[in-house]
Structure 1
């Protein structure tokens, strides 16, 4: 009788371990996957911000070299030099100082805003 209850106890423990260990492994893999995806997303945003900064600086210098003055506004760069960026993702603060002094440029990540669908 004692042998039967010990076998039942051993089977219960083995069954419990057979459930807990695979579950823990799956949870661990999901945590690693989520962490990796988050880091890739952050890296992509940093690269987009860097690319936008480079593009705006390139357009500023190109405008100065062609026209002899720095662009009066960011809209001027969009209109005449084809600057395009996601305004829902980045805020660009462009402050011209004078026509012959390099403007002050600040780019801030504001995140994506979801557009609401109207009924």
Structure 2
């Protein structure tokens, strides 16, 4: 009788470990995957921000070279120099100082990134 009870306990323990171990491994794999995706998304947003800043700088200099004045507004760059960016992700604060002084440009990330996290 004791032998049967002992076998039942061993069977119950093996069933529990048979469920817990794969579950823990699965949770671990999902956590690693989520961390990787979050890091890639963050890196992508940083690259987009750098590219946007470079594009704005290039357009400002090109406008000054061709027209002899710095662009009066960000909309001017969008209309005449084909500047395009995602306004749901980035806010660009463009402040012209004078027609012959380089404008002040600030780029701020807004909204949510690709992984659903706040910046």
Report the count of equivalent residues: 112
CA distance in 1 between partners of 2:106 and 2:34 (Å): 31
TM-score by length of 1: 0.89
SS in 1 for 2:33: helix
Note the residue ranges of structure 1 that are not aligned, 5 or more in a row.
113-119
CA distance in 1 between partners of 2:25 and 2:88 (Å): 39
TM-score by length of 2: 0.89
CA distance in 2 between partners of 1:92 and 1:58 (Å): 15
Structure 1's consecutive aligned runs of 4 or more residues displaced over 4 angstroms after TM superposition are none
CA distance in 2 between partners of 1:105 and 1:97 (Å): 11
- What is the CA-CA distance between 1:67 and the residue it aligns to? 1.2
Q: Name 2:59's counterpart in structure 1.
A: 59
CA distance in 1 between partners of 2:96 and 2:31 (Å): 47
Asked if 1:22 is matched to 2:22, the reply is yes
Q: Which has the higher contact order (CA 8 A, sep 6+)?
A: 2
Note the residue ranges of structure 2 that are not aligned, 5 or more in a row.
113-119
CA distance in 1 between partners of 2:111 and 2:69 (Å): 33
CA distance in 2 between partners of 1:61 and 1:69 (Å): 9
Deviations 1:70-119, CA, capped at 9 Å, x for gaps: 1111111111111111112211000011111110000111125xxxxxxx
Deviations 1:35-60, CA, capped at 9 Å, x for gaps: 11111111111111111111000000
